[in-house]
Amino acid sequence: MRSPRHNGTTYGFSRAVTLMQSRIRKASEGRGFSESRLLTHWAEIVGEDTAKVSNPVDIKYSRGGMGATLTLLTTGASAPMLEMQKEQIREKVNRCYGYNAISRVRITQSTPTGFADGKVAFQHAPKAAKAPDREAEGRAREATTGVESEELRQALERLGANVISKDKTHKR
């Protein structure tokens, strides 16, 4: 009996992303999203403020293939604000695609308690704040002792602590 062939350091196992990638792509393409990054990184693409009040729900391609229409879901109160930002949203989404894939942005509204499964939740989870590294803060404080301006010294301390903390994590 032959033993399973080991490929590199994976010992026959596959990464989870490899197993799920085709299923995620198939599900997102069913709604017109050939670029699933648009769904998964919505807040990074359009900005936190826009992402808090909207979600991409559909992309429809025209018969001639000349550009697509992106449909965004929002609440009634946020619709006028998004209506004024349609061109900026279109430009940001097209940057994600790398070409002018989206020619039109359509805004659709729903009440906060719409849909069968309860509420429409536009609030994306905030990024978890890391606990401050006391050692890095101390080293940064020592390095900025000669700075006379209080505001400048504090800003340099924060910057120094971040740099020192990042250096520690990259060296591990």
Within a domain: 3: no
Domain count, the chain: 2
Q: Domain check: are 144 and 86 in the same one?
A: no
Q: Domain check: are 59 and 101 in the same one?
A: yes
CB 120 within 8 A of CB 112: yes
In this predicted structure, what is the pLDDT of residue 107?
92
Neighbours of 160 (CB within 10 A): 18
Angle at 123 between CA 118 and CA 124, to 5 degrees: 115
Q: Domain check: are 91 and 161 in the same one?
A: no
Residue with tokens 């704040």: 129
Q: Domain check: are 33 and 95 in the same one?
A: yes
Q: Please, what is the end-to-end C-alpha distance for the chain in angstroms?
A: 41
Q: Domain check: are 103 and 152 in the same one?
A: no
Within a domain: 143: yes
Residue with tokens 């429809």: 60
Buried b or exposed e, range 102-119, using 16+ CB within 10 angstroms: beebebeebeeeeeeeee
Nearest in space to 51 (alpha carbons), one of 20, 82, 90, 12: 82
pTM: 0.48
Q: Domain check: are 104 and 149 in the same one?
A: no
In this predicted structure, what is the pLDDT of residue 17?
57
Distance CA 117, CA 123 (A): 16
**What is the CATH classification number for the domain harbouring 68?**
3.30.300
In this predicted structure, what is the pLDDT of residue 65?
63
DSSP state of 36: T
Q: Domain check: are 37 and 94 in the same one?
A: yes
Residues of the chain falling short of pLDDT 50: 28-33, 112-118
CB 42 within 8 A of CB 122: no
Within a domain: 60: yes
* Structural domain boundaries, residue 153: 134-171
